[in-house]
Amino acid sequence: MSDQIHIRTEGRAGRITLTRPKALNALSYEMCLEIERALDAWRDDDAVSLVLIDAEGDKAFCAGGDVQQLYETARAGDYAFARRFWADEYRLNAKIAEYPKPFVALMQGFVMGGGVGISCHGSHRIVCDSTRIAMPECSIGLVPDVGGSLLLARAPGLLGEYLGTTGTRMGPGDAIHCGFADTYVPQEGWGKLTAELTETGDTDLIARHASSAPEADLRSHTQRIGAHFGAVTLRDIIASLQGEDDGFARDTLGAMQRNSPLSMACTIEMIRTLRNEGAGIRRALGLEYRYTYRSMEQGDFLEGVRAAIIDKDRNPAWQHDPDRLPDAAVSEMLAPLDAGIPTFEEEETT
């Protein structure tokens, strides 16, 4: 077992603890594989009644996937590594969403990208005052993935389009309101809750520790978000926001102007497709994989990572301007793959 993650059984619980607090518990490829092996081992183990995932440190449960290795291998001409990583990671996300035993996640601090994928598909998702959940992938030329597109599609009204294209961070109240979390438990009570869950394996105990969540700030913007994000295209949404002179519209435009237009347009298309279909986790992961598979050769991923993580100049040269983004570019990124899309069953990627 690596020094990035601590996996063990305690009492009635299978325990997974991320142990990279200095790296904000960024999720590596090996961590994904270790989590999956543990879930497979515990699935039919009668001694394990539930799975509990948490993380060391106060700043983050998991601030996202460790994308630097994906960038480095792709720059060297190896696109297969990242494609395999995404296929294996998405298989894990599906496994968590469909896991037959309770899957409890304690999410403090930043929960972003890959961190969402290993927590927000669980059956019992617990947040606290410090929780900040977001899907900021459009800022590095990706789309909300790890099944995040499905969570966004299921959010109330058109909050999914707003959250997906802006990367807005949700506090505990917003996370519950938008369907990324279930229960608010003050963090000072997590130690006692963990001890009780470990001893008994009884998730009914969570309700005894729950408190009223803070107010969902996004509730007050629901009507405004619906008015703007109901527009047909990304171009139309931006034009609608530009037609308003208020703080919300200016802040929203500011967030979107930092992101890849191609990523945002594809995000909108994916969310609407999933919502209209009433789709499930595997359909969502399949759509996401179409994009991520192409993201290095045809998308903005390499430029987005360069600007945000490698050179850190925060000045990406995106391929498209939102005013001149051709519809065909979106269609091409989300078109079925010639080689087919993995089912995210283990035999498909091993």
Token couple for 81: 């590594």
Whether the Cβ atoms of residue 307 and residue 181 lie closer than 8 Å to each other: no
Mean local confidence (pLDDT), 309-335: 96
**Range 254-282 average pLDDT:** 98
State the amino acid at position 258 in one-letter form: R
The answer to whether the CB of 61 falls within 8 A of the CB of 108 is yes
SS (H, E, C) the chain: CCCCEEEEEECCEEEEEECCHHHCCCECHHHHHHHHHHHHHHHCCCCCCEEEEEECCCCEEECCECCHHHHHHHHCCCCHHHHHHHHHHHHHHHHHHCCCCCEEEEECEEEECHHHHCCCCCCEEEECCCCEEECCHHHHCCCCCCCHHHHHHHCCCCHHHHHHHHCCCECHHHHHHCCCCCEECCHHHHHHHHHHHHHHCCHHHHHHHCECCCCCHHHHHHHHHHHHHCCCCHHHHHHHHHCCCCHHHHHHHHHHHCCCHHHHHHHHHHHHHHHHHCCCHHHHHHHHHHHHHHCCCCCCHHHHHHHHHHCCCCCCCCCCCHHHCCHHHHHHHHCCCCCCCCCCCHHHCC
pLDDT tier at 346, thresholds 50, 70, 90: low
Q: Cα separation of 97 and 99, whole Å? A: 6
Confidence of residue 342 (pLDDT cuts 50, 70, 90): confident
Model confidence at 349, pLDDT cuts 50, 70, 90, reads very low
Q: What pLDDT score was predicted for residue 350?
A: 36
**For the whole model, what pTM was predicted?**
0.96
Cα dist from 91 to 147, 228, 333, whole Å? 10, 35, 21
Which entry of 66, 89, 145, 161 is annotated as an active-site residue? 145
Active site residue 201: no
121 CB contacts (<8 Å, ≥6 apart)?
A: 93, 96, 97, 103, 147, 151, 281
Which tens digit of pLDDT belongs to each residue from 104-130? Answer: 999 999 999 999 999 999 999 999 999
Which of the following is catalytic: 64, 109, 114, 286?
114
- Span 164-188, average pLDDT: 98
| 111-112-115-116 Cα dihedral, nearest 10 degrees | 90
The yes-or-no verdict on residue 215 having pLDDT over 50 is yes
114 is annotated as an active-site residue? yes
Does 321 have pLDDT greater than 50? yes
Mean pLDDT throughout 266-276?
98
Looking at domain 5-348, its CATH superfamily turns out to be 2-enoyl-CoA Hydratase; Chain A, domain 1 (3.90.226.10)
243 is catalytic: no
- 14, 64, 65, 299: the catalytic one is 65
d(CA 228, CA 350): 44
Mark whether 145 is an active-site residue.
yes
**pLDDT range class, residue 348, cuts 50, 70, 90:** very low
The tally of CA atoms less than 13 A away on the side-chain side of residue 279 is 23
The answer to whether 124 and 206 have CB atoms below 8 angstroms apart is yes
Average pLDDT over residues 265-270: 98
Output the average pLDDT for the chain: 96
Long-range contacts at 312-316 (CB < 8 A, ≥ 24 apart): 314/258, 316/141, 316/260
Strand pairing partners for 53? 16, 105
Percent of the chain surpassing pLDDT 90:
94
Instruction: Name the active-site residue from 34, 66, 89, 137.
Output: 137
Instruction: Identify which of 317, 308, 224, 319 has the alpha carbon closest to the alpha carbon of residue 265.
Output: 319
Q: What pLDDT sits at residue 345? A: 77
**pLDDT at residue 339, rounded to an integer:** 76
